[in-house]
Amino acid sequence: MDLKPTAGMAELAARGLALREEHGRGGTEVGVARARDISNRANLSPKTVGRMANFFSRHRVDLDAPAAKPGHDDYPSAGVVAWLLWGGDPANPDEAGAAWADRKLDELEGARGKAEGDRVSSTPAKPSEQREGSDENPEGSASGSRGGIEISDEQEKGLKNKVEEHNEEHGEKKGKKVDLGMLKAVYRRGAGAFSTSHRPGITRQQWSMARVNAFLYLVRNGRPKNAKYVGDNDLLPKGHPKKEDKKAKWLDWEMPGCKCKNHAAKVYEWPEETKWHRLAIEGLAADYDRLRPKAATDEPDADDDIRSGERRTPAMSIAVVVQEGLESVRKRIIQGLESGEIGPEGQKSAGDALESDHHRRIVRAVLADLVGARGKMLDDLTEAITSAARSGGSVGTARVNEILGVAGAERISTPALSAALEKAIAGRASLIVASVIDATVTDAIGSLGGDFSISKEVERLQTGYGFSVDRAETIARTESANAYHEGQVDTWKEAGVVKGKHFLVAPGACEFCKTIEKRFGAAGKSLEVDAPMVRGGETIQGADGGTFRPKFDSQGIVHPNCRCDFMPVLEDL
């Protein structure tokens, strides 16, 4: 592979050497040696390329110093000189050496087969070779085997070497120190994933180690090479920007609640019995594209306005309202970052930013400016959730009347929503607003610190899950489904002909939904009409051995994005 610096990098490095000699500052002896190699366009080693990428990532903040700007009395700053020595362009920090190092590092890792841990293939392991990896390593378990997967002395030695090499280079930086337990957990997960799919011609050990390498790349760069690689974020060091914070103040159902393969792959579908009812309430654009593909004609059909993003279903309305709320937060924080109002000053220690009065004042000031956005979001959410509940009530009526019609019994009508349900909807909307606006502001500002730079913080606000469409759609699917079920229960209680309900599992459901089906499905016992199918705080033991603990009671769904349902059990006719 060609690791020869470009002519432009050579010129920049030569300029850095000249400025260092003239001003007597900038760069270490290592940097000077690197500049000589780059200025001579000598082929660099893969390790040097990695150090270059790390240097540019770590020292980007140095270019924000006043003396780094042309025209300042002390220009060029030591940071500018050092940046030049490594072949970087201070005027365009994301280009020249920085872009070259990132590109070459990607090529090197690709050539070594450093595939991301969750990259899929159509080749499963032989049944005799299939094993289950572990999700977490309880204290004392990392040294043994688990799920039929053993880590040999040789493999453990290799993992120890990776820990030492990584920490020697990155261990002193916030959120980048790893330990053996982390890598063992990642290795075991990779070994378990091998049983389901892997690249042809690769062994289980190679597949597992590739996942370890992908994890280390994520740790040192702050982001994965493949944006879809999120399966090991819970193992990241404290303070890492992608770390899943178990104490996050977002509502629990916004986080991926179920880690089984089906849920992660989003292969759920609504039950056939209620699929079209659910689509009209919970459907997003992708659902319409999947379930109602456009006919082979150029003429527009009735669903074109839905595909184009018009608010037609309650879920679409909720998703748009949440995205608008998140965008108001993002714009306000970016404004504060660019004006200098928001920064890490006053932080007591890494990971404990909000302990300072400085950060608490920032949060209060930002939230004060978002009062209008909060009020609008609360009104719009209440309206959208109420619409979903009313639609659910109509569906509940239709489902019961279908049974009554067959039996020749008197049909029921759809009542208005009860005062109790309207109050519950208002409370639920308030919880969502507090999560989307208040908790997001607190989380974003509380994460400042360490290698802070405005560009990195803006990138995090633009690309992080907290401000993503995925988050908005998870809330939309979950809340519209909750309201759909609450509306039916409200109607059935008023009608007086429904005595209970059974759980109706969705095709491709996860292990936790299968557990609830075993308890309350058609072959299990029925629940009273208004009894929750899932109780907040209970630990659900999955059919495959996993565990899940929901935060809230739920009438019909088990976890975020769940598409399961229930069916009515009528009084004897």
pLDDT of residue 225: 78
Q: How confident is the model at residue 544 (pLDDT cuts 50, 70, 90)?
A: confident
Between vectors from CA 18 to CA 17 and to CA 20, what angle results, nearest 5°?
65
In which region does residue 95 sit, left (phi positive, over 0), alpha (psi from -120 to 50) or beta (all else)? beta
Who's near 25: CB < 8 A, 6+ residues apart?
A: 77, 78, 81
Q: 253 burial class (0-12, 13-18, 19+ CB within 10 angstroms)?
A: buried
Q: Tell me the per-residue pLDDT of 188-205, one tens digit each, with 9 for 90 and over.
A: 877 776 655 545 566 778
Report the chain's mean pLDDT, rounded to a whole number. Answer: 80
pLDDT of residue 295: 37
Q: Average pLDDT, stretch 301-322?
A: 66
Q: Is the pLDDT of residue 144 over 60?
A: no
Q: How far does Cα 130 stand from its chain's mean position?
A: 28
C-alpha distance from residue 418 to each of 348, 364, 422, 424, 493 (Å):
50, 36, 6, 10, 10
Rg of the chain over CA atoms, in angstroms?
28
Q: 152 burial class (0-12, 13-18, 19+ CB within 10 angstroms)?
A: exposed
Q: How confident is the model at residue 541 (pLDDT cuts 50, 70, 90)?
A: confident
Q: Tell me the per-residue pLDDT of 197-229, one tens digit each, with 9 for 90 and over.
A: 545 566 778 888 888 998 999 999 888 877 667
Q: Concatenated DSSP letters for 283-351?
A: --HHHHHHHSPPPSSSS--TTHHHHTT---SHHHHHHHHHHHHHHHHHHHHHHHHHHTSS-STT--STT
Q: How many whole angstroms separate alpha carbon 253 and alpha carbon 231?
A: 17
Q: How confident is the model at residue 311 (pLDDT cuts 50, 70, 90)?
A: very low
Q: Average pLDDT, stretch 239-268?
A: 51
Who's near 372: CB < 8 A, 6+ residues apart?
A: none
Global pTM exceeds 0.75 = no
Q: Is the pLDDT of residue 309 over 90?
A: no
In which region does residue 297 sit, left (phi positive, over 0), alpha (psi from -120 to 50) or beta (all else)? beta
Q: Average pLDDT, stretch 424-432?
A: 90
Q: What is the DSSP letter of 146?
A: B
Q: How confident is the model at residue 129 (pLDDT cuts 50, 70, 90)?
A: very low
Q: How many whole angstroms separate alpha carbon 450 and alpha carbon 445?
A: 13
CA dihedral over 3, 200, 227, 259, signed as positive or negative: negative
Q: Is the pLDDT of residue 159 over 50?
A: yes
Q: Is the pLDDT of residue 302 over 50?
A: no
pLDDT of residue 509: 87
pLDDT of residue 378: 92
pLDDT of residue 323: 95
Q: Concatenated DSSP letters for 403-456?
A: HHHHHTPPP--PPPPPHHHHHHHHHHHHHHHIIIIIIHHHHHHHT--SS--HHH
Q: How many whole angstroms separate alpha carbon 480 and alpha carbon 371?
A: 25
Q: How many whole angstroms separate alpha carbon 303 and alpha carbon 289?
A: 9
What does the block give as tokens for 162?
Answer: 């990776």
More confident: 297 or 293:
293
54-63, 243-252, 275-284, 412-421, range with the lowest pLDDT: 243-252
Question: Which helix or strand (DSSP H or E) is residue 229 part of?
Answer: none
58-62, 159-163, 301-305, 357-361, range with the lowest pLDDT: 301-305
Q: Average pLDDT, stretch 259-264?
A: 44
Q: Is the pLDDT of residue 310 over 60?
A: no
Q: Is the pLDDT of residue 70 over 60?
A: yes
Q: Are 539 and 547 in contact (CB under 8 A)?
A: yes
Q: How confident is the model at residue 463 (pLDDT cuts 50, 70, 90)?
A: confident
113-127, 262-276, 284-298, 485-499, range with the lowest pLDDT: 113-127
What does the block give as tokens for 199?
Answer: 């690249």
C-alpha distance from residue 209 to each of 54, 177, 250, 472 (Å):
22, 18, 33, 34
pLDDT of residue 292: 66
Nearest in space to 557 (alpha carbons), one of 532, 540, 526, 538: 532
Number of helices (H) and strands (E), helices first, in the chain? 20, 4
246-250, 268-272, 539-543, range with the lowest pLDDT: 246-250
Q: Tell me the per-residue pLDDT of 9-31, one tens digit each, with 9 for 90 and over.
A: 999 999 999 999 999 999 888 88
More confident: 2 or 298:
2
The 10 Å Cβ neighbour count of residue 471 is 22
What percent of the chain clears pLDDT 70, i.e. is strictly above it?
Answer: 79
Q: Is the pLDDT of residue 142 over 60?
A: no
Spell out the alpha helix ranges (H) of 135-176: 153-170
